[in-house]
Structure 1
Amino acid sequence: MIHEVDDALRDLVRAEVGGPGVDVVFEAPTRDWAARRNAPTVNLYLYDIREDLRQRARGRRNVYDEQGTVVARTLPPRYFKLSYLISAWTQRPEDEHRLLASLLRCFLRHEALKATDLGPELSAIGLPVPVTVALPPPEDRAFADVWTALGGELKPSLDLVVSAPVTVAPVYTAGPPVEEGLQVNFAEAPGAERTASGDRPGPARRRRNR
């Protein structure tokens, strides 16, 4: 699932922002990496993975075929937030700022990754993959801490969060649909008599002794 999100983000950045002269990588932007860089680069560093508990659902989910018939049932998928630290690397700070502005506009235009750009695993689930950018960080994390952990200097960056669904539950095959009404046949008890109207008499009531 993670590699499919990586591929979709790479294609999106290359198509709308990067251009032929800009590299798109997913490496950790450490000091050693920055020293080896020799071309304009957009770095999408995946630094955090955690479940989105707000989107956890209960119960079972129906699986339909092309005719709209329920063919199976399974548990709903669980969403996981993939947090990317996006930074631009060029020779001049002004060029980095322009590149970051283009990245910001790009992800503001796309509130979800297109289904046609997703890999087979995410496409098979058939659910949207939401994208948020530049939201305030959670209380337990600061972007400066990420740069400190990488051993580099604080640099202007964007925080991109992709909520990707994951299915791990077994699929239970559903039984065939009922096509006819319910029919109940009462077998005739031996020795039972019918009334003149053809109905069976009801059970005899016991008489109370007075």
Structure 2
Amino acid sequence: MIADVQDALRELLYTEARLPRDALDIRFATPTSSWVSSLTRPTLNFFLFDLHENAALRSMEFHSMPLPGQVSRTLAPRRIDLKYLVTVFFKSQVDELGRDEWNVLWRVLGALLRQEEWDTAHVPAAVRALDLDLRGVVSNAPNQTNYSLFSSLGLPVRPHLTYALTVPLDLNVTNQSPLTLERQISLGEVTGPGGPRGLQVQGAERIVRSSWRVRLPDGTPAPEALVRANGSEVGFTDATGTVHLRLPREEVRELHVLTRDGQSLSIDPGEAFVTLPSPN
């Protein structure tokens, strides 16, 4: 994922900062003094010096996907902050002030500020597959850590940026469970003094419910369909084709479905999914 994101960042900068591909390299190296001395072309460098989870964006939700007879539930990806030290190195300067380096850094700053939330066109396929975006923030506060970084790399402090890019990390945590669900709800009634706190609770009613999903022949949900179980219990499917009936699954002997377009069918509920046959 990091390599995909860095390749995308390189293309974003060449495009958004209008940097010359044939005259300037964009690299992701550790800029030690010996590495800088080995450069033969002007180079914009992003040094990844830190990565940690963005706890503020952590989600413990599971995303559900229906499968035949069951539901696959996948834990949402974590979000990781990649922190870069951004510097520009020219082998030789036009003047002693290093204005060429400053001009490149200025263009890069403008491009990164315009792309705090990356346009979809720049987001790599590996990130789009997770249905998440990329977010980047340029730090505008002095950072003592950066000065220590230059010292540890054997470089004098030079104009630089600190860029934090938030990327998703898929943990591949998935579980599968049966699609048909049942619930048992016991209701109680307060009936006067008694018990350790002066109240007595008696059972009043027990509710058992099972859930079913009705699909059209092409596999899409069948919304607003009337479903009758055992000739008496009635319910309507929602937008996902799901209907809840006040019967336990094992007592459902027959399902009669009347679809929104007028199809009327009786179905043996042998599967958790109820798939309507194609009309003749």
> Which bin holds the TM-score, normalised by the shorter protein?
0.7 to 0.9
Higher relative contact order structure (alpha carbons within 8 Å, sequence separation ≥ 6): 1
The answer to whether the aligner puts 1:44 opposite 2:46 as a matched pair is yes
Comparing 123-132 and 164-173, the one that deviates more: 164-173
Q: CA deviation at 1:62?
A: 3.5
* 2:240 paired residue number: none
Distance across 1 between alignment mates of 2:131 and 2:53 = 19
- Equivalent of residue 99 in structure 2, options 91, 94, 97: 94
Residue identity in the other structure for 2:45: N
SS in structure 1 at match of 2:10: helix
Q: CA deviation at 1:4?
A: 1.3
The number of aligned residues is 181
Distance 1:143 1:124, change over 3 A: same
Distance across 2 between alignment mates of 1:146 and 1:126 = 35
* 1:111 paired residue number: 116
Residue identity in the other structure for 1:11: E
- Any residues of structure 2 matched to 1:186-201 within 5 Å, and which? none
Comparing 177-186 and 100-109, the one that deviates more: 177-186
Distance across 2 between alignment mates of 1:143 and 1:35 = 21
Q: CA deviation at 1:36?
A: 1.2
Q: CA deviation at 1:109?
A: 0.6
- Any residues of structure 2 matched to 1:106-185 within 5 Å, and which? 106-136=111-141, 142-173=145-176, 175=179, 178-179=213-214, 180=227, 181=235, 182=245, 184=247
The answer to whether the aligner puts 1:25 opposite 2:60 as a matched pair is no
Distance 1:56 1:183, change over 3 A: closer
Structure 1: gaps of 5 or more residues = 187-210
Residue identity in the other structure for 1:142: T
Percent identity of equivalent pairs: 27
| Bigger share in helix | 1
Asked if 1 retains the 8 angstrom alpha-carbon contact of 2:123 and 2:134, the reply is no
The answer to whether the aligner puts 1:35 opposite 2:70 as a matched pair is no
Asked if 1 retains the 8 angstrom alpha-carbon contact of 2:86 and 2:162, the reply is yes
Distance 1:165 1:135, change over 3 A: farther
Residue identity in the other structure for 1:170: V
Residue identity in the other structure for 1:143: N
Distance across 1 between alignment mates of 2:172 and 2:155 = 41
Q: CA deviation at 1:161?
A: 0.5
Q: Deviations over 1:148-196 (max 9, x none)?
A: 121211111011110111111423346375233326469xxxxxxxxxx
Asked if 1 retains the 8 angstrom alpha-carbon contact of 2:136 and 2:163, the reply is yes
* 1:191 paired residue number: none
* 1:198 paired residue number: none
Asked if 2 retains the 8 angstrom alpha-carbon contact of 1:8 and 1:117, the reply is yes
Q: CA deviation at 1:45?
A: 1.1
* TM-score, with structure 1 as normaliser: 0.76
Comparing 153-162 and 107-116, the one that deviates more: 107-116
Asked if 2 retains the 8 angstrom alpha-carbon contact of 1:4 and 1:118, the reply is no
Asked if 1 retains the 8 angstrom alpha-carbon contact of 2:74 and 2:175, the reply is yes
Distance across 2 between alignment mates of 1:64 and 1:104 = 44
SS in structure 1 at match of 2:213: coil
* 2:192 paired residue number: none
